[in-house]
Chains A and B, each alone.
Chain A
């Protein structure tokens, strides 16, 4: 198990009359080497949960096991820096965190903060930038000169440069055009499939979740309503209805085909797979 939440509760403004209990005794396991999506309405507790992954927030109750760290309530948690290196958290619109004078320096900032020497940091930065498709000619440029999609990839490189074992991405494709989206998701996919990194994606885009994630965690009102296989979640009409989930287009089509009398396998994920299946049935 990469991550284990054990009876985690978190309350915002606990000592105020207007406190808000964002996480209510959460028990959750996230598997290593998989792509796990975290979905849920705004206010369901997704971002609160995610901020516990690298100890930006510390729970008031319960404890969290992340790789070989254990986070407990109180101020005694040590070695948080190491945790933040192991769990790379990429926020929404990460291009806003760029601030150094050159693309290379900014990508090297993370490794520097985590204690690598200047040479090592720059070397790691170069490799990370290459892995996200940023050409060398860009390395000396001011980050602000780049396009939105390029800046985003530089920001992600900045997190990858510290070689995190777990990568967490909050709405990674927000605001990107189709090309940018495709590029980014290819990068994420290769990080998981080729390098075995555990990837966690927080998203509202259920089409993307259905196509790319192995597991899904569905949150509602501070609780985990579902945690498991992605396909099973979106084939479960009760859960979809109860949680007002936006159904991925392919699932909608599959449902219609089923209603019309076709036999559709629950594990069909892409349009091509679906066409092949249906064409096969028609041929018979």
Chain B
């Protein structure tokens, strides 16, 4: 019988991101992360949810090495993240932040997408091809020469995603990338992210407090007060309505519908609106 450490190390090798006992203190009194451990497999779309102050934004910064944990380890693609290899590891990752203006560096869309390429010392001639290709992927070719002031929040976030894609990362982190957008903008970004996940098998980590967005993911990690409150498939995690509400989050619309019907003695099984209506009709005509 092979020992536990052996299995442990195998899992370690398969996961693209491994976090162990991560702790991060803001000062002596306030602990933002209080011992987090989880694994993310290659190609997963993981949502990390929690209210403001749950530690989720800190986690994003730690994963991309913008902050150093006080305790614990982060392993990316088998390599332990530390100061010596942070630049190397960052080449595999891209991050989109929350504020569309405060990550838009270039004077125009083109220049902003080029920024990351310039840092990688890509040849000037090659850059144009990459810029056009990835601007096209996010639907911004017509806006390439526009200045940021002329763009909406959703468009600016698409520029950020385009800039990230141009670096061809394996892992994309979205740090509340939709929370400052209007519903239309949020929908555009959600659809884009889902499409990218499907097409390219990228590992996507989406940090959000938007529950409907979290439902898009394969797996959900719920944080509360710096610890993991729950982990698993979104439908499972959000089925505990009372618990989720107690930590300052809301449950998805369909879960609320199910909950409301439960009060009237009707248990609905479907996770899809169309099927739910069908179930209700069955019940109605069955009588």
Where the two chains meet, the residues of A that have a C-beta atom closer than 8 Å to any C-beta of B are 42, 147-149, 171, 174-175, 177-180, 182, 204-206, 246, 249-250, 252-253, 256-257, 260-262, 271-272, 274-276, 278-279, 281-284
Contact = CB atoms under 8 A, between A and B. Distances in A.
A147 B179 contact: no
Contact of B183 (A206, A253, A262, A284): A206
B274 interface: yes
B260 interface: yes
B91 interface: no
A239 B261 CA distance: 31
A147 B53 contact: yes
A257 B280 contact: yes
A178 B211 contact: yes
Interface of B: 51-53, 152, 179-180, 182-184, 209, 211, 248-250, 253, 256-257, 260-261, 263-266, 273-274, 277-278, 280-281, 283-284, 287
A281 B264 contact: no
Contacts of B248: 177-179
**Which residue of A182, A252, A271, A281 has the most chain B CB atoms within 10 A of its CB atom?**
A271
B52 A282 contact: no
Nearest to B283: A282
Contacts of A253: 257, 273, 277
B201 to A, nearest CB: 31
Contacts of A261: 281, 284
Given A177-B52, A257-B280, A261-B281, A274 B260 contact: yes
Contact of A246 (B152, B180, B184): B184
A147 B52 contact: yes
A180 B264 CA distance: 30
Contacts of B284: 261-262, 281-282
A275 B52 contact: no
